[in-house]
Chain A
Amino acid sequence: MSPESLERRAVISGVGQSQVGRRLYRDPLALTIDACLAAVDHAGLTLADIDGLSTYPGNMDQPPGFSGVGVTEVHDALRLELDWFAGGLELPGQLGSVVNAAAAVATGLATHVLCFRTVWEASAQGDAGRASVTPGGGGTYKASGFLQWTLPFGAPSAANWIAMMAQRHFHEFGTTREQLAQIALNARRNAARNPNAVYRDPMTLEDYLSVRMISTPLCLYDCDAPADGSTAVIVSRADTAADRPRPPVRIEAVGTALRGRPSWDQFDDLTTMAVRDAAAMLWERTELSAADVDVAELYDGFSFITLAWLEALGFCGKGEGGPFVEGGDRIALDGPLPLNTNGGQLSGGRLHGYGLLHEACVQLWGEAGDRQVPGQPEVAVAAAGGGPLAACLLLTT
């Protein structure tokens, strides 16, 4: 364990979420303000208390719906008076923005940092289909940077890149589609208990196996559902926690490492990639272990990434993710490791990492309603990202 895990000087004091749904056709900044004001209220704070602002990936025009709201828009709309702020794409995934906030709080640069993530990909796509939001689809666009190595080969989507990781995992470890299906089926079961989830109708293994392929071995139900929504969390200095309406969610440890190459195709071990490094770093910074975790909210932009996080975090051995989830009992709401308890992104909607962090906090506060994990969970892990981008947080009551 590292001698000083200074992230423990930071806590999560409140969370908030906007309306979540498919094709809401609402202004993304309006969604963001809804989430931010809800989080500030949840933490028992006022806007005058907020002196930090953090987000991922910042304001971007492309791809449509991926962002659209950055630090600047929220800062100005709410006339915040900030001592510290940061927003950007070059982070260890979506939750890198929350780790940034914890670091700012731990070093005294801010006291209460408002962190947010907004997506409106369902509305951006509208009725025009996925091709309408695929990068490079026409005109004089030419690919540069990393995309030059994939777009010319008709592989514009993380679905293709993650599919190749999954295929390699299937090859090395004998993982099967029936096993991978359990990630999607578990998410759908949990979504049925979450009134804010976008897909709640029952799904069977037969449904999963017969739906259309996107990029083998990944089918439609292995891919998360584009959604509109905004999520906010407040990261506060731990020594302010006594004044808050509810006990803080403590940040026990974070993991942000990327020790392999920052590349979707050159990374040494494609069956795990950055989640291996982020998870390893997390456990280097705490005396807790995977056995202490009561609930796991692990990124499911694609089902395979959840499997990779389960292995990397040590809930099972390397390559054993398939057998671990087989049958679904271990990861069920009433099982030993409740997983993606709000339906994740596969059925809850693609809130891009922040939705899973929100759910981890709600579970630790015992505020999850019909989907509350029994036995009052005390330790949760929230993890987001895949490929060469990954970060995770270990949270405790």
Chain B
Amino acid sequence: MTDAAAAALRPFRVLPRVTAANEHFWTGGADGELRILTCRGCGYRIHPPAPVCPRCLGREVAPEALSGRGVVHTFTVNCQPWYPHLDPPYVVAIVALEEQDDLRLTTNLVDVDPDDVRIGMPVEVVFEPYDDVWLPLFRPSARPA
């Protein structure tokens, strides 16, 4: 199969516009890393990215790789066909990352039957490449977060 043919089989995704501010997040998957902006001074994780730490107001912030583990904070099984080439049902979830209580990502859960998804379920990141970005998706993890 050609790359173009393979790409045509993938579900449709609206992609993010990559900028200097968000590049670490959207491209970290190339190295298998979930990168979150982190305050050098106090260690607070800053997401979405901002050039200031909201906790200590430190200005020295840089991306760091996280474990990629978390738990399902909440989820929904989307049944509505919003886009012509993104077929429902699929699971949209908000995953709370294990490094920090208030650090969450909206994402998709993959490799799981929608009926089996539960709040509190441990999950781990997997990356799906699209053009110039690597979308962080999550799958069930045997290991408790």
A residues touching B (Cβ–Cβ < 8 Å)?
Answer: 130-131, 134-138, 141-144, 146, 148-157, 159-160, 163-165, 167-168, 171, 212-218, 263-266, 268, 270
Contacts and interface: CB of A to CB of B under 8 A. Distances in A.
A130 B94 contact: no
Contacts of B90: 154
A322 to B, nearest CB: 17
Contacts of A136: 14, 83
Given A142-B14, A144-B17, A265-B104, A154 B76 contact: no
Q: Which 3 interchain pairs have the tightest Cβ spacing?
A: A136-B14, A142-B17, A148-B16
Contact of B106 (A135, A142, A265): A265
Given A164-B94, A266-B47, A155 B16 contact: no
B119 A153 contact: no
A212 B81 CA distance: 12
Given A156-B14, A167-B74, A167-B119, A266 B92 contact: no
A160 B15 contact: no
B86 A154 contact: yes
A164 B91 CA distance: 11
Given A153-B92, A164-B92, A142 B76 contact: no
A217 to B, nearest CB: 8
Interface in B64-93: 73-84, 86, 90, 92-93
Contact of B16 (A130, A142, A165, A263): A142
Contact of A130 (B14, B82, B86): B82
Contacts of A157: 80, 82
Contacts of A265: 94, 104-106
Contacts, number: 121
Contacts of A218: 76
B130 to A, nearest CB: 8
Contacts of B82: 130-131, 134, 137, 154, 156-157
A154 B133 CA distance: 16
B76 A153 contact: no
A146 B102 CA distance: 17
Given A156-B83, A160-B92, A171-B74, 12 more contacts: A135-B14, A142-B17, A149-B106, A153-B92, A153-B107, A156-B82, A164-B76, A167-B74, A167-B75, A168-B74, A215-B79, A265-B104
A214 B74 contact: no
A143 B17 contact: yes
Interface in B116-144: 119, 130, 133, 135, 137
Contact of A149 (B48, B74, B78): B48
Contacts of B74: 164-165, 167-168, 171, 270
A165 B73 CA distance: 10
B10 interface: no
A144 B106 contact: no
A137 B83 contact: yes
B15 A142 contact: yes
A91 B83 CA distance: 29
A232 B127 CA distance: 49
A131 B92 contact: no
15 contacts: A141-B14, A148-B22, A149-B105, A152-B13, A153-B106, A155-B78, A156-B82, A167-B75, A214-B78, A215-B78, A215-B92, A216-B79, A263-B48, A266-B47, A270-B74
A134 B78 CA distance: 14
Contacts of A153: 92, 106-108, 135, 137
A143 B83 CA distance: 15
A54 to B, nearest CB: 30
A153 B95 CA distance: 13
Contact of A131 (B11, B13, B84, B93): B84
A219 to B, nearest CB: 9
A148 B77 contact: no
Contacts of A134: 82-83
Contacts of B13: 152, 154
A266 B54 CA distance: 14
A266 B82 CA distance: 24
A171 B73 CA distance: 10
Contacts of A164: 74-76, 92-94
A160 B14 contact: no
Contact of A159 (B17, B80, B130): B80
Contact of A154 (B48, B83, B102, B119): B83
Contacts of B81: 131
A171 B17 contact: no
Contact of B135 (A135, A152, A167, A264): A152
A270 B74 CA distance: 9
A154 B102 CA distance: 23
Contacts of B75: 164, 167
B83 A216 contact: no
Nearest to A141: B14
